[in-house]
Each structure stands twice: as C-alpha cells, then as structure tokens.
C-alpha cells in the first residue's frame, strides 16, 4: 500500500535529519508522528517513529538526572558534504583526519583513543568536504551514539589496518555491526525503502598503513574480495602516501560541484564555494544561500563554462561545476 507521505511530513523529516540536539530531534519526530497518514501502509513507519521518540525521551531523562549538560554528538554539516570515518580500533582514523584536514585529534598507538566526535574540513581544488573522526566500531565496546552519527553522514570512509594479521575479520566485523544498526555500506547509490528505516552510505574502502611490510600482501587479498563492492584506495596516513588519490576518490564518490555566489555589480568571492550535489538546480542553490531565497527568487545570471557570460536562467536551471551565480530577488 502506498504511504502517500505529504510534503509537510517530508519537511518535518528533513528537520529531524538536520537537527543538532536531542530536543530538536524529539520535536521533529513528534511532528512526523502527527503528520503521518494513519493507515496500514504506514504501520511500520509509525512504529519506527514511536521507537525513536521513546529512545530520545530516555536519553533526555538520563541526561536530566545526571545533571550534565547535554552532549550533542551530532555534527552540524555547515553546508558541506559530511563523510564519516568508520573503522575498527587503532586503524588510523584520527591520523588520517590529521593528515587531510585542519583538525588536531589525539592519535595514539593503542585502541579506543578517540572518545568524541571531531569534525575537520578537507579542502582540495577548492572542494570543501567535512570529515568526521569517530570512536571505533567494535564488538568489545562501542559508544552507543556512533551508529547515529554514521546514519546522518552523506558518505563514509571505511578505514582498515593493512598491518593487521586479522584485517579481513576486522572489515567483516565492522560491516556486520553496522548492518545490525541497519546501516549498509556500498560503493554505489542505493534506492532506499523508507519503510525499512535503512541507511545506505556510499563508501570508499581505504587500506591504511600501506607502509607496513605485510600491507601489500593483505591489500592484494582485500582488492580481490571487495573491488566489486567498494572503490578502493591504499594509503598511508602516517607516511602521507596516496593522499591525493583518496581526495580525488572522495570527490568522485560524493559527485559534487563548486558553485560561487556573486552579488550584482560585484566580483564573485572564490574563497568559499557552495558545495552541491551534481544535478542540483538554481532553486536548490538559492535555498543554500538563504532559506527564503527560493520563494523570493525572480531569476539569476550565470557565468560559467556552458553559458555565455551573464546569461539569464530560471529556477530549474541545472548548475554546472564552477558556475558563478548572481541571484536576482
């Protein structure tokens, strides 16, 4: 039976996904429950929303009792695509964040070093991408909120330790733990069935510590087993090798473009591009610039590779990489 979810429901769901505190999330979930059409076809989805409300209520109560200030483990995306670093303990996630971004995480030669979420911005060819460092995914102990953060990311880097004897087991363990939380990692975009509350993340498998002696041997086996499932990239976060390749792989995986905003009569600032999914329209760009610009937008002028300078375009115009846009409201 079709769900017939309304635009108002989708709007509440968007607020839920973008919320950065438990209280905001709770408000959005209650709104979703109020707005969801009540019939057999949405039973599962209603149950899922109720379960999430109960979990968040629990969390808020526990925080209240302990008198602690609420720790928000959600990382605001700041308009950038967000990539979660996912992996077993001690695989070099924090070392990679330090090598690729402006962040300064703690790095140490023992497992469970990272306890909190830490964002950093990777800038490559003026593409800006947010990477987030996370505590490890592990059978022995895992911070309860790690899967929640992964669910909200736009993509993942699965970091594996090519110096470890049990690297294959390590990969499968991480994949299985995430699947238990209904998070599926794959190289391709997958159509998501909203009833199953599943999360599909486009993922690159990065074999770290390629500088260690047994790494090439391990990598050969991994490549054979996983090349059909993930884009693959061997790196050394410590020796800084193959980092250009992983940056390019991330840009291709995310399928993003850079778009610049130009005020009428002035030059465009190239410093901070808007990073959008390829295929985004002028209307979507206007929303990124300011949330009520989409309604106010009359037309725009574009300077870019496929249009003549200053060509007038309307809200359905599909943006190209490096377009410069002058919005007229």
Q: Which of 27, 35, 212, 232 binds ligand GTP (CB under 6 A)?
A: 212
> Which parts of 64-93 interact with Mg ion (CB under 5 A)?
93
> Could you say whether residue 94 binds Mg ion (CB under 5 A)?
yes
Phi, psi of 51 (to 5 degrees): -65, -40
**What share of residues in the chain are helix, strand, coil (percent, to 5)?**
35, 20, 40
> Which parts of 233-292 interact with ligand GTP (CB under 6 A)?
236-239
Whole-angstrom distance, CA of residue 2 vs CA of residue 193: 12
> Which parts of 132-151 interact with ligand GTP (CB under 6 A)?
136
Whole-angstrom distance, CA of residue 187 vs CA of residue 25: 29
Query: Interacting stretch for ligand GTP, rule CB under 6 A, among 89-97, 142-150, 166-174, 184-192?
Result: 89-97
C-alpha triplet 224, 150, 285: angle, nearest 5°: 105
Residues in the interface with ligand GTP (CB under 6 A) total: 24
Structure tokens at 264: 């009428």
How near is the Cβ of 119 to Mg ion at its closest, in Å?
A: 13
Q: Which of 12, 83, 107, 300 binds ligand GTP (CB under 6 A)?
A: 107
Q: Which of 111, 247, 281, 289 binds ligand GTP (CB under 6 A)?
A: 111
Reduced to 3 states (helix: H, G, I; strand: E, B; else coil), residue 311 is strand
How near is the Cβ of 240 to ligand GTP at its closest, in Å?
A: 8
How near is the Cβ of 117 to ligand GTP at its closest, in Å?
A: 11
- Give 108 or 329: the residue with its C-beta nearer to Mg ion: 108
Residue 215 burial (CB count, 10 A) = 20
Quickly tell me which residue has 């993930």 as its tokens: 230
> Could you say whether residue 114 binds ligand GTP (CB under 6 A)?
yes
Per-residue DSSP letter, 8: H
Whole-angstrom distance, CA of residue 314 vs CA of residue 327: 10
How near is the Cβ of 77 to ligand GTP at its closest, in Å?
A: 22
> Could you say whether residue 95 binds ligand GTP (CB under 6 A)?
yes
List Cβ neighbours of 153 (8 Å cut-off, separation of 6 or more): 82, 83, 84, 132, 201
> Could you say whether residue 113 binds Mg ion (CB under 5 A)?
yes
How near is the Cβ of 205 to ligand GTP at its closest, in Å?
A: 15
Q: Which of 42, 101, 114, 210 binds Mg ion (CB under 5 A)?
A: 114
The option from Mg ion, ligand GTP, none interacting with 280 (CB < 5 to 8 A, set by class) reads: none
Structure tokens at 299: 């037309």
> Could you say whether residue 109 binds ligand GTP (CB under 6 A)?
yes
Task: Report the greatest alpha carbon distance in the chain.
Answer: 62
> Could you say whether residue 113 binds ligand GTP (CB under 6 A)?
yes
85: Cα within 13 Å, side-chain hemisphere:
36
> Could you say whether residue 92 binds ligand GTP (CB under 6 A)?
yes
CA–CA distances in Å: residue 252 to residues 38, 63, 112, 149, 255:
41, 40, 31, 22, 5
- Give 135 or 207: the residue with its C-beta nearer to Mg ion: 135
> Could you say whether residue 138 binds Mg ion (CB under 5 A)?
no
Whole-angstrom distance, CA of residue 161 vs CA of residue 138: 14
Residues engaged in binding ligand GTP (CB under 6 A) = 87, 89-95, 107-109, 111-114, 136, 208-209, 211-212, 236-239
Residues engaged in binding Mg ion (CB under 5 A) = 93-94, 113-114
């Amino acid at each position: 039976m079709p769900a017939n979810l309304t635009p108002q429901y989708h709007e509440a769901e968007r607020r839920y996904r973008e919320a950065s505190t438990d209280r905001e999330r709770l408000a959005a979930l209650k709104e979703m429950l109020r707005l969801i059409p009540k019939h057999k076809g949405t039973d599962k989805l209603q149950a899922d929303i109720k379960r999430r409300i109960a979990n968040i209520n629990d969390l808020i109560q526990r925080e209240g009792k302990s008198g602690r200030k609420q720790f928000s483990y959600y990382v605001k995306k700041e308009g950038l695509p967000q990539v979660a670093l996912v992996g077993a303990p001690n695989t070099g996630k924090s070392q990679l964040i330090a090598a690729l971004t402006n962040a300064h995480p703690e790095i140490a030669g023992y497992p469970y070093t990272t306890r909190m979420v830490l964002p950093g911005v990777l800038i490559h060819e003026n593409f800006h991408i947010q990477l987030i460092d996370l505590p490890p995914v592990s059978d022995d102990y895992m911070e309860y909120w790690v899967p929640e953060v992964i669910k909200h990311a736009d993509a993942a880097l699965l970091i594996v330790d090519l110096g470890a004897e049990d690297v294959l087991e390590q990969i499968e363990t991480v994949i299985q733990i995430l699947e238990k939380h209904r998070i599926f990692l794959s190289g391709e975009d997958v159509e998501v069935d909203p009833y199953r509350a599943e999360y599909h993340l486009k993922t690159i498998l990065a074999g770290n510590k390629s500088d260690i002696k047994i790494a090439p041997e391990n990598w050969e086996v991994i490549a054979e087993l996983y090349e059909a499932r993930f884009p693959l990239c061997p790196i050394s976060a410590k020796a800084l090798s193959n980092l250009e390749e992983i940056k390019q792989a991330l840009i291709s995986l995310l399928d993003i473009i850079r778009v610049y905003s130009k005020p009428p009569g002035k030059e465009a600032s190239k410093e901070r591009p808007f990073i959008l999914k390829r295929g985004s329209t002028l209307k979507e760009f206007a929303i990124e610039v300011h949330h009520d610009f989409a309604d106010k937008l009359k037309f725009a002028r574009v300077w870019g590779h496929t249009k003549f300078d200053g060509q007038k375009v309307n809200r359905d115009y599909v943006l190209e990489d490096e377009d410069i846009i002058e919005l007229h409201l």
